[in-house]
Every structure is written in C-alpha cells, then in structure tokens.
Chain A
Amino acid sequence: MEHIRLPKVENVRLLDRISTRRSRVGTLYLTATHTIFVENEAGVRNETWVLHSLVYSVEKATTTSGCLLVIHCKNFQVLQFVIPQERECYDVHLSLQRLSQPESYEELYCFSYKPNVDEEERLQEWDFLDHKADYSRMGLPNCLWKLSPVNRHYKVSDTYPANLFVPDSAASPVIVGSSKFRSRGRFPTLSYYSKENHAAICRSSQPLSGFSARCLEDEQMLEAILRSNPRSDFMYVVDTRPKLNAIANRAAGKGYENEDNYSNIKFQFIGIENIHVMRNSQQKMLEVCELRSPSMSNFLEGLESSGWLKHIKAVLDAGIFIAKVLIEKDWVSFGHKFSHRCNHLVGDPKEVSPIIDQFLECVWQLMEQFPCAFEFNERFLITIHSHIYSCQYGNFIGNNQRERKELGFWRGLYNRFDRGMHPRQSVEDHLRAIQEETQQLKEQLASHKKKIAKLEQEQEWSVTQKAATFDKSPTAWALGHDLGLANTPQDYTGDFLTSSPCQLKVPEGSLILIPQDLNKTSDSNHSNGSDQESGIADLSCRSPFSEDSTRDPDSDEAAYSAA
C-alpha cells in the first residue's frame, strides 16, 4: 500500500485507440492489486480493471488537453488515459511503475487473491495436472522407462519437477553426472512417450561441451535413451537453435553434442531464433498492431518486416519435424532452455521472451487449420494467456504438410482490446448454446419418454397432459442466449458481448450476472453490454484517400470528414 501515492484521480479520460469519437470520462482508482477506471456516465456502471502484474510498461507524455498516461499490458491491452493535472499524472505514473514491478513473489496477486474456495478444494485444484496420470496415459512406467527419484528434493536440477522419467537402464550416478554436464542441471528426461511404437521425446538443456569437453555419463545417458527403444538403432538430437548460435555458445563453455562422441546420433539444427530476436520481433509486430489507421500495405509490410510469422512458422516446422520423426519410429532428444519468460519480477529485461505467446499462437494456428481437432477454443487459449498457468496437452495432429500461406495474423490476441476491430459475431457462442440446448432437449425427451411409458402403464395416458409438459421449454433462441450468458461467466469478457450488434436479446447491464469475485480476477475490460452501436466500424480509416481531397478545392471531402 505504501507504493500508492495517489489512490484516486477524478475527471480522467480513457481514449479509444481506434475511434477518437468514443473516449470516456471517469475516475481512476489505484488499489494494491488493480488499476480501476470507473466511467462517470449516469446509470451505467462501466468498469475497466487492470491487474498490476499485467502491466508491461507505463509511459507519460504531455499533450494540450492534459497529461497522457499510456499503459501497455502483457495481454496486449493498451490503455490511454488523459489526466488533467501534470502533478497527478506524475504520481500515478510513479505508483504504477512500482506496483507493476514487485520485488518478490509474495507481492504477486496470486498470494492475495482469495476467492470463495476452502483450503481443501484449493489444494485439490493444484493437483489438477496429475503428472502421474498423464504418464500412465502414455503407458508409463513400463520395462523401458522408470520414475526416477533423483530430483525429489530439486537438488539435481532446481528448474525440473520432482518426478521425472528416465530410461530403465540409467543409473543414478549416470543421471547426476549427466546433469552436471548440462546447463542448469537439466539432464535429458522424458517428455512424451508413444506406446504404439516406443518412440519418445526427451528434453534437456545444452551440454557444457565448450570446444572439446566430454562427459562420459552424459554419453551413457544418451546411449541409455537410445537403447530404451529396441526398434531403433539411432536417434535424432534436435537443437532448436540456429547452428551459428550453437557454435557461438561454445565460446561460453556451452555448445552442442559432438556426433563423434555420442554413438548413433543424428544431429539436427532447427533454427528457431533466440529470445532476443523473438522479443524484438514481437515488439515490432505489436507496433504494427498499434498503428492508428494503417493501410493494408503498411500493415502487411510491417507484419512482414517484424518477422513474427516467420518465427511462428519456424516453431511449427520444428514441431512437424519432431512429430514426423516420432511417427517414423525414431528417437528424439530435445534440447532447449524452455523456461517460461514472463517478466513477473524485476529482473534483466533481456531475459524476457514471448515464448509462451509463441506457443499459444502455434496452437491457435493449428486450430485455425484443424477446427475439429481440438476440444478447447480460442477463448481458452486467451484465458491461458491472461493467466499463464502451466498447462499440458498431448494431442498430436497427424502428419501435415503445412504451408506458410496457412499462417494468419491472430487478431484475437494482439488486437483483443480494440473492440472496433473484432469479429462481430461469435460462431462458437452460438454453437455452444445450440449444443447445450440440444443436450437439454435430449434429456427432456428421454424423461418424457419415461413418463409416457409410466403413464401408459398406469393407463392414464392423455394427450393434453403431454402437451402441457412440453410447454416448459422456452423458445429456442431466447434459451440459447440466456444460456450463453448464464453459463459462461469465466469465459465471457465484456468484449465478446458488446462487440456484436446482433445480440439484441442481451439486456442492458447483463454482465451483472457474472459473480462479483470473478469480476475481480478477470483483468479485462468489463464494460457493459449496452453499446448497441459498437458494431459500427470506424470508417474514418480513410487516410489513403484523404490526400486527394486536399488537392481538390472543389471536393467536399474535408467538410464531410469533419461533420
């Protein structure tokens, strides 16, 4: 609390990034955990909540109408406030800078977040991802792979979990020896096993090979991995870096496996750029997204020069390569420091990387191409992105030739908060409502059938009664929409409802239906559902043409645009 220099500022304007016509006036509050903007307009309770830990950067600038405060969030929300007094803006800026960069884990919101869940349930929640169950789904342990207790106390590798699977033949000294030869002790360990053909994916960090160092245990470890697949006489070692980077790393005492020292490995570089390249690329891409009214060419050029989709493709290509190898009954050992880099704590900004964004985007690209192959939807990915919990899925999607034409720009993530830009209607919502109603109707039908059978038995069956029972079901669409609202509070953010002008049946202030504490966890823009005109696009995206008007005194262009 001591970091809040100013808890409340009146008369703040929240600008709309796309349309200047739609700025809102209200009060800005700073709390220990959130920045909250409450719109003043009478009768409407329109709040925007931003979690401090989601704040990526806070900048201020002076304009003619006041002091501009721009908050960039990690979920790509950009908020632009105009604060009347320079002094107030200064205080808010300073407070936010401190609040958004906690110095210890304890300051993070998850330690102060107290939903109405009792302790036992809370612990159960944490068991949600039962690693053992996941491994037993893969058919483990078996005679080839065993659970190793070696990292039980996180002594061998502090970044690995306690339970790790290793080849049955790998003895503890071999593992420990191998771990000493790997960055941060991340020795090769199982990440995916295919019980159909015994092929597996292992992962590790880079070896500390330098220019010539060897490690007998590490060589034995890889040998053990190779031998645990009786059907294969060699394995791939895939290095996700470009070869040049790997070579450069040798100078720092790190490097890659020398094919001469390890028996029967095939070495393969994939060429995924390092975190610094990725971070710059993402930054460039986000800048393109934030252009006020880019032309199609500006946008495509910018997207191209950011190289972002190129990197996404590289990651997907790597996935395809590994999946292919796996299907072709071979072996993969996989090395990369795949630690999550999310900038939760104050630290070296150079270590921040958009890897999780990239992973989620890759999954989204797959979903776009295989709409029927995933159980979850885009909103699930965005929810994960917002919360960045650790998650794990193991669905392999066959063997696909993927071309770069298939890769598209994920507006749903990067321009999520620009409501003017959204898809105006959601097929998913609609289908979910349909599906749920179908299910309900099925159940109703079943229960009616039962009832009828019973009544027939009792020989009291009458037509009138039957008609009466069917009356309970409200008309299909009304139900569909009610369901859409009532059943999905954790998924729905204000955006999805308000951006559809066709959701006629959404009542004013309908989001009140969402339980209060959920409101607080969700960090997105909880504006109300009354903005019936939000479907109106900003057609003022006219810059490519406006030059004409200035040259032509006879045209009424300018007059119209001003009107």
Chain B
Amino acid sequence: MEFSEHIKTANVEDVVLRQPLHPPSRGTLCITGHHLLFSVREEVSSRQVLLLLRNIDAIEKRVNAPICISCLITLFLKSFLTSVENLFAYSGLISNAGRNESRISGSSGTITIKCKDLRVLQLDIPGMEQCLNIARSIETLSCLDCVSEMYPFFYRPSDISLQDQWGLSTPEKHYTQMKELQDRWRLSTVNKDYTVCPSYPPAVIVPMDVDDDVLKKVAKFRQGGRFPVLCYYHRKNGMVIMRSSQPLTGANRKRCKEDELLLQAVIDTSDKGYIIDTRSSQQAQQARITGGGFESKSCYNRWKRLHRHMERGKALQESLIKVVEACGDNSHNMDRWLSKLENSKWLSHVQTALSTAGLLAECVERDGHSVLVHGSEGIDSTLLISTLAQLIMDPSCRTLEGFLVLLEREWVQAGHPFQQRCAHSAHSHARLQQESPVFLLLLDCVWQVWRQFPLALGFSEALLLKLATEAYASDYGTFLCNSDQERCALGVKEKTHCLFQAVLRPLEREHYSNPLYEPTELAIWPSVHPQSLQLWRGFFLRWTQQTRHLEEAQEEIRNMVTEWGKMALS
C-alpha cells in the first residue's frame, strides 16, 4: 500500500494508553494505513483498542526529555536564536546538538489524541523519535483527501456481502409506494446523468403538469440547479413539502416564468402556499447582491413568504467548538459553565431548528397548506427542517427503519455534502473551510424530540450516537462524498458497505431500537421553550462516568421490557 510511505515507525512496545472510563494500560501500539491498534499485553487478558485514524480530529504532542543539563543549555541558547514554539523544532535541535543515541533513549513522548466522537486519548510512547514518527503518521493519515483510499473501500466484514443491497430505498421506490400522489405528481428522470443538478439524485418527484424542459429552465434559475422538488406528501390532507435552493433573481429582480409556473402547479388555483426561507429577510435581501434572492410577492402572489433566521456554516461550526470546549472545561464553577453554554449558542440553534420545523409542520398539518422550503444553497438548514417536520408529522418516519429511510432520502440522496461538512469536528485547529455540524444539529434536535416523546420513536439514543460518530468517521460508505453523483463516480455503492443496512442486522437492530416504542398516529409537537431543551449529555458528555449511569438506566428499562415481553408471550 502507498500508505507505507507515511509510516516510519509501525510498531512501538511498552506504550501506555490512557482513555476515559478505563484505567491506564500498557501494551503495543501499531499504526496501519487506516487504524491505530493498541494491544494490551497483560497475561490474563489480551484486550485490543482499535481506532480509525479518520476519527482523529487533532493531536497534540509533548516530548519529555530526561533532565540533562547540556540539553537544557543547548535549548536555552538556541531559544535565543529561534523561538521554539513547535516541538518538532525542539526535537530537531536536540538530535542535531547531541547525536547521542543513549541520551535520547531515556526520553519519551506523549501524544494526546482528540477524536471526532469527542473522546480524548493519551499515549505515552517511549523514545522521542518513535513518538514523533507516530505523530507525523497520524497527522498525515487522518486527513487524507482521496476518498477512494478511505477505509470503507477496504472494510470487508465476514457477515455482509458487497452483493447485498446498498441503501434502503430509491426515489423510484419512494414514488411507487405513495399511490395517493401519483395522479398529481410524476417521477422525472431529467437529472439522470446529473447534468441538470449535480447534487440531486437521478430521479426526483415534480408536479405532473411540469415537463422536463421546464425543469431544465427552472434549474438554471435556482442556485446549483436545485429546482423545487417534492420531499414529503401529507396523506391526511394532500399537502406537500417541497424544497429547493434560492432563486437567482439578483440585484435587478430577474424573473423566471417557468419557476413561477412550477410553483403554481404545486397548489390549486384556489389555494395558497407558504415559502419558508431559512434566512432572515435581511439576509435574503443581501443575497441579491451576489446573484441570489427570494420569491417576491408580486411574482409569486399565491405564495406567502416567512423568514426564519437559521445559523449555518462557519457560525454553526464555531458554536460546536465552543460547546465542546465548555464541556471539556473541568473547573468546578457553575457560573462559568452556564455562561459558556449560553455563549456557545448551541442550544439556541437547537431551539431555532425545532421551532422552525414546528412552524413548517403547523403550516402543513394544522393549517393545511403546501410549503416550499429553501435557504440559499438548499443543502443544509433546508434539509434540517424538512427532516424534522416529517418526523413530527409522519408516523412512518418514526420507526427505526423509517427514520433511516428518511435520513437516506433527505440527507444522503438529497445531496448534503457530508464529505465537506464533516471533514473536521470540534477539536481541529485546521482552518475552517466547508465544515459545519448541520447533521449533528439534526441529531441533537431528534434527541430532544426523543426525550420529550420517549415512547413515540422506534429507535434508541444509541442510534443517534452511532450516526453522530459515523458521519465523521466510518467503516461504511454511506456518508462518503458530497452527492449521489460523486458516489456513483467512485463506485461507492459497489465497493463499500452500507451503514443503514448494517444497523438493521438482527443483533444490531435490537440495540438500536427503542424498547418502549409504542406507535402513535398523532403528530408529536415538541416543546421549544428553553426549559424544555437540554444539553445532549449522551453526546457531549459521552465519555464521562455520569453518562454510564444513564446507559445503565436504559439497559434496566430494556431488561424490564424484555421480561415483560417474555411473560406476555408465555
């Protein structure tokens, strides 16, 4: 493998691993192209810790040289000449100055590994050289850019086959299942070679009366070609949720007749629809300067526009960084904790997302109107609130399988750029580019709903945690790439395994389902009052003892239900 060029030291003996919830253990560290493998060398047990390198967000290295006067003097003198900030420079100094192997052999190094799943590990490695080699390998291998070299392309578990179906559903299947909508909606394959909209799947659902030529013209009027498509059909009243990107009206208020026609076709002549814009109206106005814009009242007179300002992009990533930092701060001070939590704004984002989704669901379910959702690109907050609204309204989205199908449709197929958004998590010092924890925010919101309706969702918190981890680093190909097109080009569906399928295997299914699940046909309206929203402890404080107690309680519940189930059967 080409990875070997990045690995100078593959094995180190006598390494001490410190990880949360475990006592320190001594063993052998081994680095491969995709993993850190730590084997505990005790006679009684041969435990192994396997860490996907992709899971590593940031590392810090510290070299502990033995106390040696000549070293200190060298260092002291040299520090006048070059400011020693980087420890690499430090190591270089000493090896240049000394070249005395015996002096270095007494030294050791410590690597602190901060993972994307928020775990923090520490490795004490004997030998400075080895430590630095390992650190360098981790730094390089944990953020390789080439998707086809990533682990999902190499992961071959014995119990699943590549021939198995990849994914749970397709747009075609989704359309066929919904008989009710077929007289007014059709499946269009205008995007079959991804030329109309690179981030859409090959097939999308659009109004019956709108032909493919119109769609092509509309696509040119929408950012990234994301023309309005159907994402949810509400059986109770036939109303729909559509989603798209912003219209490219620009500064001189350009119009597109086809776009207006398409939206007109969504609603009956007598009816009116709502457009929920996930930007503030100010932001929407400003977007016109850069060629974007919004649907003006005069051109779309049957559509009422509502603005809800949702944070996105960099601001959201910074919010995540702050909340994780607050959780990692171990000073025992209540005031600082609350102000840090407040300052991170993470819970405010949760509140906004849930209340906007609630508003969307209210429009559809209670007021009986169809809604178009978009922000600017239509690949982040748009998907966030359309997903949450479906969870609120549609009972079939609340089963384990239904929820996964929903995620597959609204996030994987709908073109949320996982590769860009989840490249780094909260610990990374790398300069922010396209990172943004939108998917994590979705999972947090779903958790809040789960907490308020512990009986209404068919899946467990463990599933949400699993998804939160896998989106950032995974054995599976589900969250690779930024769109269906990219996945096709790389053969992801042929060469990797699918997480959603794996989660539904019998043993896993038990772990990821909610033992208390009791289906309800009613909409589940979450409370969005600050008093009702909580920090997602299971995720943000996942590696603490406290979370273990909560897990025990979940386990206890599962046992009770199992016992009850047995008794009821007998």
> Footprint of B on A, CB under 8 Å?
18, 289, 293-301, 303-304, 307, 309-310, 313, 317, 369-372, 400-409, 411, 414-415, 418, 420-427, 430-431, 434-435, 437-438, 441-442, 445, 476-477, 501-502, 504, 532, 535-539, 541-542, 544-545, 548-549, 551-552, 554-557, 559-560, 563
Contact of B341 among A300, A310, A415, A501 (CB under 8 A): A300
Partner of B549, one of A372, A418, A431, A502: A372
A539:B359 contact, CB within 8 angstroms: yes
Of B309, B342, B452, B528, which one neighbours A545 at CB under 8 angstroms?
A: B309
Across chains A and B, the number of contacting residue pairs, with CB separation under 8 Å, is 226
Q: Which residues of A contact B281 (CB under 8 A)?
A: 548-549, 551-552, 554-555
Given contacts A427-B557, A560-B304, contact A310 B532 (CB under 8 A): no
Q: Can you spell out 27 A-B residue pairs with CB atoms less than 8 angstroms apart?
A: A296-B348, A296-B350, A296-B530, A297-B342, A301-B342, A313-B332, A369-B550, A372-B553, A401-B545, A402-B546, A418-B529, A423-B532, A424-B526, A424-B527, A427-B455, A430-B516, A438-B560, A441-B567, A502-B456, A502-B524, A536-B525, A544-B352, A548-B309, A551-B281, A555-B306, A560-B274, A560-B304
Asked whether A309 lies within 8 Å of B285 as measured between CB atoms, the reply is: no
B430 within 8 A of A: no
A296 and B456 in contact, given A421-B532, A548-B281 (Cβ under 8 angstroms): no
B516-A501 in contact (CB<8A): no
A556 touches B304 (CB 8 A): yes
Establish whether residues B327 and A405, one from each chain, have CB atoms under 8 Å apart when the complex forms. yes
Given contacts A437-B564, A477-B518, contact A18 B529 (CB under 8 A): yes
Q: Does B520 contact A (CB under 8 A)?
A: yes
Contact residues of B between 463 and 490, Cβ < 8 Å to A? none
Residue of B306, B332, B452, B557 near A423 (CB, 8 A) is B452
| A20 nearest CB across to chain B (Å) | 15
Known: A301-B342, A425-B452, A427-B455. A501 touches B520 (CB 8 A): yes
Q: Nearest chain A CB to B339's CB is how many angstroms away? A: 6
**A423-B452, A425-B453 known; A537 vs B332 contact (CB < 8 Å):** no
B308-343 CB contact bits vs A (8 Å, 1 = yes)? Answer: 110000000000000000110010111101110110
Residue B161 is within 8 A (CB to CB) of chain A in the complex: no
Nearest neighbor of B551 in chain A, beta-carbon distance: A371
Docked Cα-Cα span, A504 to B531, in Å, equals: 26
Q: Once the chains are docked, how many angstroms separate the CA of A303 from the CA of B516?
A: 33
Contact indicator A445/B567 (Cβ below 8 Å): yes
Residue B510, interface by CB 8 Å: no
Q: Does B377 contact A (CB under 8 A)?
A: no
Residue of B nearest to A437 (CB): B564
Q: Is B305 an interface residue, CB under 8 A from the partner? A: yes
Measured CA separation A430–B451 after assembly (Å): 14
Which of A402, A407, A555: most chain B Cβ within 10 A?
A555
User: Are B568 and A422 neighbours in the complex by a CB distance under 8 Å?
Assistant: no
Q: How large is the interface on B (under 10, 10 to 19, 20 to 34, 35 or more residues)?
A: 35 or more
B440 at the interface (CB under 8 A from A): no
Q: Could you tell me the distance in whole angstroms from the C-beta of A501 to the nearest C-beta in chain B?
A: 5
Neighbouring A residues of B367 by C-beta, 8 Å: 563
Contacts of A408 in B (CB 8 A): 534-535
**Cβ contacts B346-382/A at 8 Å (1 or 0 each):** 0110111001001100100011000000000000000
CB-defined contacts of B546 to chain A, threshold 8 Å: 369, 402-403, 406
A297 near B345 with CB under 8 A, answer yes
Q: Which residues of B contact A418 (CB under 8 A)?
A: 529, 531
Closest chain B residue, CB of each to CB of A419 = B527
Interface residue? B170 (CB, 8 A) = no
Q: Which residues of A contact B56 (CB under 8 A)?
A: none
Cα of A76 to Cα of B267 in the assembled complex, Å: 48
Interface of A is mostly: helix
Nearest B residue to A306 via CB reads B338
B29 adjacent to chain A (CB < 8 Å): no
User: B100 in the interface, Cβ–Cβ < 8 Å?
Assistant: no
Contact residues in A for B456 (Cβ distance below 8 Å): 424-425, 502
Bound CA span A441–B355, Å: 43
B522 at the interface (CB under 8 A from A): yes
Contact A548 B338 (CB under 8 A): no
A415 touches B520 (CB 8 A): no
- Chain A residue numbers with a CB within 8 Å of B533 are 296
* Closest CB pairs A-B (n = 9): A299-B530, A552-B281, A371-B553, A556-B304, A300-B342, A304-B338, A441-B567, A310-B334, A296-B348
Contacting residue for A502 out of B309, B455, B552, CB 8 A: B455
Question: Closest approach, in angstroms, between the C-beta of B297 and any C-beta of chain A?
Answer: 5
* Cβ A537 vs Cβ B528 within 8 A: yes
* Closest chain A CB from B552 CB (angstroms): 6
Contact flag A431-B560 (CB < 8 Å), given A372-B552, A502-B520: yes
CB of A556, distance to nearest CB on chain B (Å): 4
Which residues of the other chain, B, contact A560 by a CB distance below 8 angstroms?
274, 304, 306
In Å, the complex CA distance between A458 and B289 comes to 93
Query: B306 is contacted by which of A407, A541, A544, A556 (Cβ under 8 Å)?
Result: A556
Say yes or no: is B561 at the interface (Cβ < 8 Å to chain A).
Answer: yes
Give every chain B residue within 8 A of A536 (Cβ-Cβ): 366, 523, 525
When the two chains form their complex, are residues A504 and B520 in contact, meaning their CB atoms are under 8 A apart?
Answer: yes
B541 at the A interface (CB under 8 A): yes
Chain B residues, Cβ within 8 Å of A434? 560-561, 564
Q: Which of B281, B305, B362, B524 has the largest number of chain A CB atoms within 10 A?
A: B281
Q: Is B347 in contact with A300, judged by CB distance below 8 angstroms?
A: yes
CB pair B306 A299 closer than 8 Å = no
Given A303-B338, A309-B334, A552-B281, 10 extra CB contacts under 8 A: A295-B530, A300-B347, A372-B556, A415-B529, A420-B529, A421-B531, A502-B518, A548-B282, A556-B305, A557-B306
Q: Say which residue of A309, A411, A438 sits within 8 Å of B531 (CB atoms).
A: A411
- A304-B339, A556-B297 known; A294-B352 Cβ under 8 A: no
B564 & A435 in contact (Cβ 8 Å cutoff) = yes
Residues of A within 8 A of B45 (CB): none
Q: Which of A295, A414, A541, A548 has the most chain B CB within a 10 Å cutoff?
A: A548
In the bound complex, residues from chain A placing their C-beta under 8 Å from that of B541 are 405-406
Instruction: Please measure, in the bound complex, the distance between the C-alpha atom of A562 and the C-alpha atom of B404, giving whole angstroms.
Output: 37
Complex formed: what's the CA distance from A68 to B342 in Å?
34
Residues of A within 8 A of B308 (CB): 545
Report the Cα distance A370→B553, complex, angstroms. 8
Kindly identify which residue among A310, A369, A435, A476 contacts B335, using a CB–CB cutoff of 8 Å: A310
Closest to A448 in B: B570
CB neighbours (8 Å) of A400 from chain B are 545
Residue B156 is within 8 A (CB to CB) of chain A in the complex: no
How far does the alpha carbon of A309 sit from the alpha carbon of B306 in the complex, in Å? 38
User: How far apart sit A398 and B296, CA to CA, in the bound complex (Å)?
Assistant: 64
| A310 contacts across to B, CB distance below 8 A | 334-335
Interface centre among B350, B355, B534, B564 (most CB of A within 10 A): B564
The reply to whether A295 and B351 form a contact with Cβ atoms under 8 Å apart is: yes
Contact with A along B242-284 (1 / 0, CB 8 A): 0000000000000000000000000000000010000011100
Give Cα A438–Cα B530 distance, bound, in whole angstroms.
37
